[in-house]
Amino acid sequence: MQVEVLDLIRFFIGVAVLGYACYTDLKTRMAPNFLWLIMGGSGIVLLLIQYLSGNLEDLFPLIFVPIIIAIIYALYQVGLIFGGADAKAIMSLSLLTPFWPSLHGFPNHVSIMPFPWVIFSNSIIIFLLIPPFLLVYNALKGEIEFPFALLGYRMSIEEAKKRFVWPLEKVVDGKRKLILIPEDFDTTPLLEELEKMGFRRIWVTPKIPFMVPLLAGFIISYFHGDIIFSIADAFM
């Protein structure tokens, strides 16, 4: 089987699995473990097919697969990657896409970094763009209050009760304070408390899971390539 066909299969598997993971993560803040078994298992099967078809000539990138898995595991253990599903997704992606793809001239910016690591780094860049985007969004609405405007947006308490958002503020000793992570997963009591205090609209965050930027980073990596490398190359 031709390498381009295998790369295309890898792309569609990655988009399908990560897309479904985004859906479940946004709805329930959980992603089922069977998704990573599907993605990692598919990667091993495709790697075997590539080897048996005689299209596996350069084995060097495979060295980085266990290295990346170990790094991601370490980052998760020290808390730099918060979600277990996020860590498992990146680990399984290293098995699904161990090589740089080749799809009719794409990606445009290939670098010396291992492709799974590029997916991860691109995802981080996209994730870091969320606060500036929220700031612009709030500025257009005429609602600027730091640091809330970088982390979320204002919403009525009644609407917040119906949506999967978390309050960014609470009242302590009569003063409004920023809270990044609520003490309880169920924020209804906190919303009701704020409502009793006379609040009608509060700052909330959609708590966008890292799975969303990871999907975007995966797609961008396939077509654009390494964002950091392309920026450095533009300046050089």
Q: What is the dihedral of CA 149, 125, 20, 209, to 10 degrees?
A: -40
- Same domain, yes or no: 24 and 80: yes
Tell me how far CA of residue 96 lies from CA of 46, 84, 206, in angstroms.
8, 18, 30
- Same domain, yes or no: 201 and 226: no
- Same domain, yes or no: 134 and 114: no
Average pLDDT along the chain, 236 residues, taken 10 residues at a time: 87 96 84 93 93 83 91 85 84 94 88 94 93 92 88 86 81 73 68 81 83 95 93 82
- Same domain, yes or no: 32 and 122: yes
- Same domain, yes or no: 140 and 100: no
Residue range of the domain that includes 137: 130-205
- Same domain, yes or no: 90 and 123: yes
CA-wise closest residue to 46 among 112, 90, 93 = 93
pTM above 0.85?
Answer: no
Give me the pLDDT at residue 129, please. Answer: 92
- Same domain, yes or no: 94 and 17: yes
Give me the pLDDT at residue 181, please. Answer: 65
The one-letter code for the residue type at 87 is A
CA-wise closest residue to 170 among 185, 144, 189 = 189
- Same domain, yes or no: 53 and 75: yes
∠ CA(83), CA(88), CA(89), 5° rounding?
95
Give me the pLDDT at residue 146, please. Answer: 87
- Same domain, yes or no: 35 and 85: yes
* Cβ contact 116:100 at 8 Å: no
- Same domain, yes or no: 141 and 165: yes
CATH assignment at residue 83? 1.20.120
- Same domain, yes or no: 193 and 88: no
What total of structural domains would you count in the chain? 2
- Same domain, yes or no: 168 and 158: yes
* Cβ contact 91:66 at 8 Å: no
